[in-house]
């Protein structure tokens, strides 16, 4: 038999959406993000400059091929809309933006390193830098969303 105490405990447990709302209201530490950006500046800046938006990397990603080839799953789109945005904003992003990037950096990529770019851009490494920045701000993949 379930006691009243355990019923109350289960009801009081916040949902993952409620927890996310609390987390999104926190401030990011721009200095901490910039320390990582400084370390990887050459790699990120070169990739953003060199990318010709040719889409040739698209079919090398099994997730892109298996998700009806939507742009959000294209390797170049994933790094440009995550680490690319953080870099261009010089680390001045909101926690809400980082939470939105969580989807791209974990759900849309498994860092399998199978994608290839004829111009030599190492896309998985760029996405891994994005994950590192999110983790530095306490933003992690939520396994309950799988």
Q: Is 46 in the site for ligand SF4 (CB under 6 A)?
A: no
> How far apart are CB 127 and ligand SF4 at their closest, in Å?
6
Q: Which of 113, 135, 140, 145 contacts ligand SF4 by CB under 6 A?
A: 113
> How far apart are CB 86 and ligand SF4 at their closest, in Å?
17
Q: What is the sign, positive or negative, of the torsion defined by CA atoms of 128, 30, 49, 66?
A: positive
Nearer to ligand SF4, 28 or 80 (CB): 80
Residues whose CB falls within 8 Å of the CB of residue 33, separated by 6 or more in sequence, listed in order: 86, 91, 93, 133, 136, 137
Nearer to ligand SF4, 7 or 50 (CB): 50
Alpha carbon distance 65, 86 (integer Å): 27
Residue 118 φ/ψ region, left for φ over 0, alpha for ψ in the -120 to 50 degree band, beta for the rest: alpha
Q: Is 45 in the site for ligand SF4 (CB under 6 A)?
A: no
> How far apart are CB 146 and ligand SF4 at their closest, in Å?
15
The one segment of 21-29, 56-64, 94-102, 138-146 that binds ligand SF4 by CB under 6 A: 56-64
- Tokens 């949902």 correspond to what residue? 15
Residues whose CB falls within 8 Å of the CB of residue 137, separated by 6 or more in sequence, listed in order: 28, 29, 32, 33, 95, 98
H or E stretch at 42: helix 41-50
The one segment of 3-11, 72-80, 94-102, 136-144 that binds ligand SF4 by CB under 6 A: 72-80
Positions that interact with ligand SF4 (CB under 6 A): 51-57, 61, 63, 75-76, 78, 109-115, 117-119, 121, 123-124
């Amino acid at each position: 038999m379930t006691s009243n105490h355990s019923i109350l405990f289960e009801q009081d447990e916040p949902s993952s959406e409620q927890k996310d709302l609390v987390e999104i209201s926190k401030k990011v530490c721009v200095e901490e993000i910039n320390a990582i950006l400084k370390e990887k500046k050459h790699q990120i800046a070169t990739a953003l400059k060199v990318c010709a938006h040719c889409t040739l990397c698209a079919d090398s990603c099994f997730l892109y091929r298996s998700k009806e080839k939507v742009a959000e799953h294209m390797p170049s789109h994933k790094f440009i809309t995550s680490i690319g945005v953080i870099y261009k904003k010089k680390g001045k992003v909101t926690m809400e933006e980082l939470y939105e990037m969580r989807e791209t950096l974990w759900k849309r990529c498994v860092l399998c390193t199978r994608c290839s770019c004829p111009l030599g851009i190492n896309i998985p490494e760029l996405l891994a830098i994005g994950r590192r920045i999110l983790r530095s701000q306490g933003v992690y993949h939520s396994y309950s969303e799988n």
